[in-house]
């Protein structure tokens, strides 16, 4: 993976500059992916220099999640401004490895939507969404700082700016770094202005030294060898790992090929079974039509219904139909209105109900024939007497 945001500072040490707006200049998802990648290649220290007004909450969550799950130490440094969601990113570093330069500022406030804060949102749906986001951020503060949930909520509502001492007091950081000179920060400066005047951190603070790592010692620990292991013995262990890896990859490829072949075979067999099932259903429908129990014009809908209920259920339904089909809908459409009395006899009503069931709701008709024999008999007798 090509690193877009991180640079290598030495053996196992990588550094990221979080300057700008998350979700715009800073892609939180990509940064999180790089943190995860650095862990897979054995990074020891991942240093995140923060100078940002904040930005997209979800982008910030991505970085926080990767920080909290990192095996490598996450060193967070507030280099000027840790605004909004970036104050939570600052707090998500490894305990004991979170820093702030003495002139830095952190901002804790409610989330907003298109510049409108939680308190001023009128849209109830958006207000509900922002409230959920706020509670997630509150949980991050409560889990990674000295703040309780109630205190975090209160500070977010108040839109609090914290200097370096307050950042340490509330547990966002563990240590304050002294500056060799201070940027020109004045009262009533906007968050963006503070971020901009602190942009070149190297002017204000001495370089943080990259820790020296004994490469042979680290490799010895990795392969569970003694500290005085020779390069040759370490190389032999590495060659064993490469050989085992190749064997594992070959087995995976063979397994994947076998599984793919099995899947193709199963799909072909299923298609063959479906073909014969459909043939049997079509044959049963044709037989039912030829016996006079259904009309030819209903063939396609009968086939579809037979597929839905299954061949066995359809055949049972046909067996229980002692009468020939009558196109009642057509009959009702074409007959004189004078024939259709407003006061239909019970027998007429039951007969027409049964015709409607066997035409439009065969599954219900089948259920009645199985589960309500008395009602079924009443329906059939009434239907047979329709003139």
Of 141, 143, 139, which is closest to residue 160 (Cα–Cα)? 141
d(CA 240, CA 234): 10
Specify the 3-state DSSP secondary structure of 148.
coil
Q: What is the pLDDT of residue 299?
A: 85
CB 153 within 8 Å of CB 134:
yes
Q: What is the pLDDT of residue 68?
A: 94
Q: What is the pLDDT of residue 232?
A: 64
Q: Hey, what are 122's tokens?
A: 């009128």
Global pTM value: 0.51
What string of pLDDT tens digits covers the 387 residues of the chain? 678 888 888 888 999 888 888 888 889 899 999 999 999 988 999 999 998 888 888 889 999 999 999 999 999 999 888 888 999 999 999 999 999 998 889 999 888 877 777 778 878 888 888 888 889 999 999 999 999 999 999 999 998 999 999 999 999 999 999 887 666 666 677 666 665 665 655 555 555 554 444 445 555 666 566 666 666 665 666 667 666 667 666 666 666 666 677 777 777 778 877 887 888 888 888 887 877 778 888 888 888 888 888 888 888 887 777 654 444 334 334 444 444 444 357 778 888 888 888 778 878 888 888 888 888 888 888 877 764
Say which DSSP state 92 is in. T
CA distances from 179 to 65, 163, 198 (A): 30, 14, 12
Q: At what angle do helices 362-371 and 311-319 cross, to 10 degrees?
A: 70
d(CA 10, CA 352): 88
Specify the 3-state DSSP secondary structure of 176.
strand
Q: What is the pLDDT of residue 337?
A: 41
H or E element in which residue 117 lies: strand 116-117
**Where do runs of H (alpha helix) occur along the chain?**
28-40, 57-68, 85-91, 124-144, 149-158, 164-169, 191-197, 215-222, 231-290, 299-309, 311-319, 328-334, 346-360, 362-371, 373-384
Task: Kindly name the residue from 52, 62, 84, 104 that is annotated as catalytic.
Answer: 84
Q: What is the pLDDT of residue 366?
A: 82
Q: What is the pLDDT of residue 334?
A: 43
Identify whether 75 is a catalytic site residue.
Answer: no
Of 202, 207, 203, 232, which is closest to residue 220 (Cα–Cα)? 232
Backbone angles phi, psi at 35, to 5 degrees: -60, -45
Backbone angles phi, psi at 76, to 5 degrees: -100, 140
Under CATH, domain 6-213 is a member of which superfamily?
2-enoyl-CoA Hydratase; Chain A, domain 1 (3.90.226.10)
Task: Kindly name the residue from 66, 75, 104, 109 that is annotated as catalytic.
Answer: 109
Match 């009434």 to its residue by tokens: 382
Q: What is the pLDDT of residue 251?
A: 67
Give burial (CB, 10 Å; 0-12/13-18/19+) of 112. middle
Domain assignments of the chain as residue spans, ordered by start: 6-213, 214-295, 320-384
d(CA 71, CA 213): 17
Identify whether 109 is a catalytic site residue.
Answer: yes
Match 């943080």 to its residue by tokens: 208
d(CA 383, CA 378): 9
Match 């970085």 to its residue by tokens: 63
d(CA 317, CA 323): 12
Q: Is the backbone of residue 291 left (phi > 0), alpha (psi -120 to 50) or beta?
A: alpha
Match 């790089």 to its residue by tokens: 34
Q: Hey, what are 83's tokens?
A: 């605004």
Q: Hey, what are 182's tokens?
A: 């201070």
């Amino acid at each position: 993976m090509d690193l877009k945001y991180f640079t290598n500072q030495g053996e196992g040490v990588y550094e990221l500059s979080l300057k700008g707006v998350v979700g715009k200049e800073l892609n939180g998802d990509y940064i999180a992916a790089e943190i995860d990648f650095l862990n897979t290649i054995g990074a020891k220290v991942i240093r995140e220099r923060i100078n940002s007004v904040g930005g997209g909450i979800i982008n910030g969550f991505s970085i926080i999640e990767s920080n909290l799950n990192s095996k490598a130490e996450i060193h967070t440094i507030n280099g000027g401004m840790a605004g909004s969601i970036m104050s939570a990113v600052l707090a998500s570093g490894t305990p004991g490895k979170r820093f702030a330069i003495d002139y830095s500022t952190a901002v804790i406030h409610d989330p907003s939507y298109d510049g409108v804060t939680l308190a001023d949102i009128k849209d109830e749906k958006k207000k509900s969404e922002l409230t959920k986001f706020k509670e997630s951020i509150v949980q991050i503060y409560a889990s990674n700082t000295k703040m309780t949930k109630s205190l975090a909520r209160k500070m977010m509502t108040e839109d609090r700016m914290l200097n370096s001492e307050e950042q340490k007091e509330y547990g966002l950081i563990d240590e304050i770094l002294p500056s060799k000179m201070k940027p020109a920060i004045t009262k009533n400066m906007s968050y963006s202005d503070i971020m901009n005047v602190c942009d070149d951190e190297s002017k204000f603070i001495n370089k943080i030294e990259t820790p020296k790592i004994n490469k042979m010692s680290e490799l010895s620990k990795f392969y569970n060898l003694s500290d005085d292991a020779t390069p040759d013995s370490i190389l032999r262990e590495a060659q064993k790992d490469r050989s085992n890896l190749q064997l594992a990859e070959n087995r995976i490829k063979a397994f994947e090929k076998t599984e793919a072949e099995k899947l193709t075979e199963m799909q072909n067999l299923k298609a063959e079974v479906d073909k014969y099932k459909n043939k049997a259903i079509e044959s049963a429908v044709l037989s039912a039509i030829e016996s006079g129990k259904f009309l030819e014009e209903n063939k396609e809908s009968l086939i579809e219904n037979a597929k839905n209920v299954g061949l066995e259920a359809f055949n049972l339904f046909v067996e229980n139909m002692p009468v020939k089909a009558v196109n009642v809908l057509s009959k009702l459409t074409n007959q004189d209105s004078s024939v259709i009395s407003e006061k239909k006899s019970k027998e007429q009503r039951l007969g027409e109900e049964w015709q409607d069931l066997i035409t439009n709701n065969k599954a219900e008709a089948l259920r009645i024939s199985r589960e309500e024999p008395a009602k079924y008999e009443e329906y059939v007798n009434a239907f047979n007497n329709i003139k």
